Amino acid sequence: MKPVIGLIPLVDKERESYWMLPGYMTGISRAGGIPVMLPLEMDDSDIRQTAVALDGFLFTGGHDVSPSLYNENKLPECGPVCPQRDHLEQRLFACAREMDKPVLGICRGLQMINVLLGGTLFQDIPSQTNSNVEHHGKPPYDRPVHKISVIQGTPLFDLCGSTMNVNSYHHQSIKKLAERLTAMACAEDNIVEAVYDREARFLWAVQFHPEFAYRTDPDSLKIFEAFVNACC
Ligand SMILES: [Mn+2]
């Protein structure tokens, strides 16, 4: 039996639509899982039942995390937020943790997981840091934009080796890393690009975008495969 993996929906407020980037789904399929997009709004008991029913969860990219979740006021440079996603992710993450179900976070997913475990974010890298690494790359998004150094002793190092060339499409990043998380990779400006929880069955998150790159970048496919295998 293939594992069935729930994906947090993306939200287009202008079109009053939920949507999905194909790469999140085709990447999971290619790695041997069955992806399903979750509803945006569920009550607590439905979220719990969903967490029981599915084998793993992909926390997708999207809106900026509401700064109120890490007790900061929203700066002008912070982008639009999505309270319904914040709510769903908060509840679903708590259930997944309790049941030790595998979770993979991508971009906003990494940021949200860090916040839900007690970390904080840079609301805007260009205005809050003196980084001169290009993190906000332009299309096509399957091309590498910057290098990251992978930390020895982490599972990402075992999977992909000491350096990776990754795509990058984010203006926020981890400021204070949650205590429960361990950094797996950093860019040259020390921005955290991958994390995991060493106590969990599988809780990984990356700041780059394997969903855009897995067709051409073997490392991106390996990340999907590691996640799907953990869900089996
Ligand atoms: Mn980056």
Which pLDDT score is estimated for 16?
Answer: 94
Residues of 57-75 as b/e, b for ≥16 C-beta within 10 angstroms? bbbbbbbbbbbebbeeeee
Could you say which of 107, 135, 146, 170 is catalytic?
A: 107
Give pLDDT, residue 73.
98
Say what the pLDDT of residue 10 is.
Answer: 98
46 alpha carbon to ligand 1 midpoint, in Å? Answer: 35
CA of residue 121 relative to chain centroid, distance = 14
Catalytic residue list contains 211: yes
Tokens of 182: 């361990």
Q: Are strands 203-206 and 192-196 parallel, antiparallel or unpaired?
A: antiparallel
Distance 66 CA to ligand 1 centre (A): 20
Q: Kindly calculate the radius of gyration of the chain based on its CA atoms and give it in whole angstroms.
A: 16
Contact 120, 72 (CB under 8 A): yes
225 catalytically annotated: no
Question: Active-site residue 107, yes or no?
Answer: yes
H helix and E strand count, the chain: 8, 13
Stretch (H or E) spanning 196: strand 192-196
Is residue 52 exposed (0-12), middle (13-18) or buried (19+ Cβ within 10 Å)? Answer: exposed
CA of 206 to the centre of ligand 1 (A): 9
Reported pTM: 0.98
For residue 49, what pLDDT is reported?
A: 98
Ligand 1 center to residue 209 CA distance, Å?
Answer: 9
Q: How much of the chain is helix, strand and coil, in % rounded to 5?
A: 35, 25, 45
Residues of the chain short of pLDDT 50, as ranges, are none
Of 80, 81, 34, 75, whose CA–CA distance to 56 is shortest?
34
Taken in order of first residue, the domains within the chain and their CATH numbers are: 4-231 (3.40.50.880)
CA distance 55 to 3: 6
Distance of CA 135 from the midpoint of ligand 1 (Å): 4
| H or E segment to which residue 56 belongs | strand 56-59
For the record, the structure tokens of 179 come out as: 């205590």
Chain CA centroid to CA 175, Å = 16
Residue 121, pLDDT score: 98
